[in-house]
Structure 1
Amino acid sequence: MNIDSKLNQENQINTGNDSYIADIADCCLKNNHCATVTTQAETITEEIDVIPTVICPGNTVVKLPVVLAETKIIIPVEATITFDQVVMEIKRTKKNVFLTQSRLIPFSQDSRTGTGILFIAGFVRKNIEYATQTCPSGTSTNVCGDIRHCTVQVPFNFTTRVTFLRPPVFNENTTPSEIEFFTDKVEGCDNCTDSVLGRNPCDQSFFITEFYNEKPYVELVRADVTEVDIHTNPISSCETPTEQRVTQLTEKIVINLTLKVLQNQQVRVTAV
């Protein structure tokens, strides 16, 4: 083969490749499968510094959250999760802790002064990604399937005692006061008898004072979740002894929570 023939053959191959690439590009444009990116340069908007308006120097009373107590609590939980399909393997789990109830009784009703009883309820939200078997393996050792996910809520609740760093501030309601009025105008049924002297049944006066206190509340500072997943009644075969299929998991969970108990209180500060 001479040089001209070889060049002609290479040109034909390149021309065929170009035509093939052009056909793919045209197909992508017709089917809207290709991604496009549009960018635009943004200008910087100039900012103007604002000098804040502050109070004059001196003693100032402010109302702000005051930490009443901070505590760490360990909660053991056992949960059973049932899947809608047969699970071949757990790929990944994501966990988040939420509190649904937080109540503080500031009186412990015993000899321990400076303590309170804390009621907490919540749940651990778990998103589990797992592999399934969609292709029957038969006698083959190869298994194919899909990746699915399941989101569940594992509830928990507990009651614990907290020791106050600073006690909460409450004003108790006063005992209702009642005022009676004297009268000598009450007449009996007999006109010959004297008038009745004593309390006037027509007039009464009451006095009561009601205080509206700041309610203590709880902040979730940190949550550590440790768990062990136990396969319940796993299914295996002689052909694939290393593969197990399950529909239930039993979880042993240890939840470590760090909580702050706060209350809005008036505090005197000095503005420098």
Structure 2
Amino acid sequence: MNNNKINTNDNIAENAAMIGQCAEVKTLQQSFTEQTSVTPSVIAPGPVVVKIPVVIAETNITIPVEATIKLDYPAIEIKRIRKNVYLTQSRVIPFSQDGQFGTGILFIAGFIRKNIEYATKTCSRYGSHNVCGNIRHCTVEVPFNFTTRITFRRPPIFVTNQPQLEVEFFTDKNKSCDACADPVIGRNVCDQSFFNSEYFNEKPFTELVRADIAEVDIHADPYRDCENPTEQLFNKLTEKIVVNLTLKVLQNQQVNVTALGL
């Protein structure tokens, strides 16, 4: 009997020691370091040209999305869904029926990263509504894409490439190139010269300012537990999502400003 008590006490002490080792906190006092102000080196006062991102359009877009998600384990309840929006593609094509580049077509693609936490059922007591289980999580990506027309607050700057130019030379001694040809006066067929210009424009880009997400989760094909009729299990849900995005479209442009003296 005494040996059993000793063993029980040893087990309790061992479990307590293991619990104590589960979490450990160590603190280290940080020293305070003084800072010294530095006077920035600036350019001389006067007119200056800078290259900065310029907002050429700002828009608010509402996107309806429907997705079906299959969980890896049957769930009885969704506890929490954390959502983040990411953009994977942004393209702007200046297009206007009046030819003045007053509007453009915006192509956007992205996805909603969703971390779903849900409760599972591992055991229940017959005749009661007591259910026990684990909390699991599943991370999925819900893609979306859309195309919309935007109105430019300031038109983007694009320089188009010009057609290739060809320079011809005059000669009256074609025999220098072809000994068998008769001497003629006109274009020199021996020499050709070409001129080509290629302009590299700044590509417009998009910034995601704000994302609002509203959704409804519908349990697809649920089945009830006969032992607990008030609970139902499901491993597939259909989501109807409304995503509202606020976007800025920018382009790096040269701007003439005036530098002030300090």
Q: Partner letter of residue 47 of structure 1?
A: Q
**TM-score normalized by the length of structure 2:** 0.85
Larger CA deviation: 261-270 vs 235-244: 235-244
Greater CA deviation, 117-126 or 171-180? 171-180
Instruction: Please name the residue that 2:232 is paired with.
Output: 244
Stretch of structure 1 that moved more, 169-178 or 132-141: 132-141
1:1-272 residue pairs with structure 2 within 5 A? Answer: 24=13, 33=21, 35-108=23-96, 110-111=97-98, 113=100, 114-135=102-123, 140-186=128-174, 194-237=182-225, 239-272=227-260
In structure 1, stretches of 5+ residues that fail to align are: 1-19
Structure 2: how far apart are the matches of 1:29 and 1:239? Answer: 40
| Structure-1-length-normalised TM-score | 0.82
Kindly indicate whether the alpha-carbon contact (under 8 Å) linking 1:56 and 1:271 is maintained by their aligned counterparts in 2: yes
For 1:267 and 1:172, locate their aligned partners in 2 and report how far apart those are by CA, in whole Å.
20
The alpha-carbon deviation at position 144 of structure 1 amounts to 1.5
Task: Give the number of equivalent residue pairs.
Answer: 249
Change (3 A) 1:86 1:111: same
Distance 1:112 1:161, change over 3 A: farther
Contact 1:103 1:120 in 2 (8 A): yes
Q: Identity across aligned pairs (percent)? A: 62
Q: Is the 8 A contact 1:123 1:154 kept in 2?
A: yes
Are the counterparts in 1 of residues 124 and 130 from structure 2 also a CA contact under 8 Å?
Answer: no
Tell me if structure 2 keeps the 8 A contact 1:231–1:246.
yes
**Any stretches of 5+ residues in structure 2 without a counterpart?**
1-8
CA distance in 2, matches of 1:162, 1:271: 33
Q: Check the 8 A contact 1:95/1:125 in 2, yes or no.
A: yes
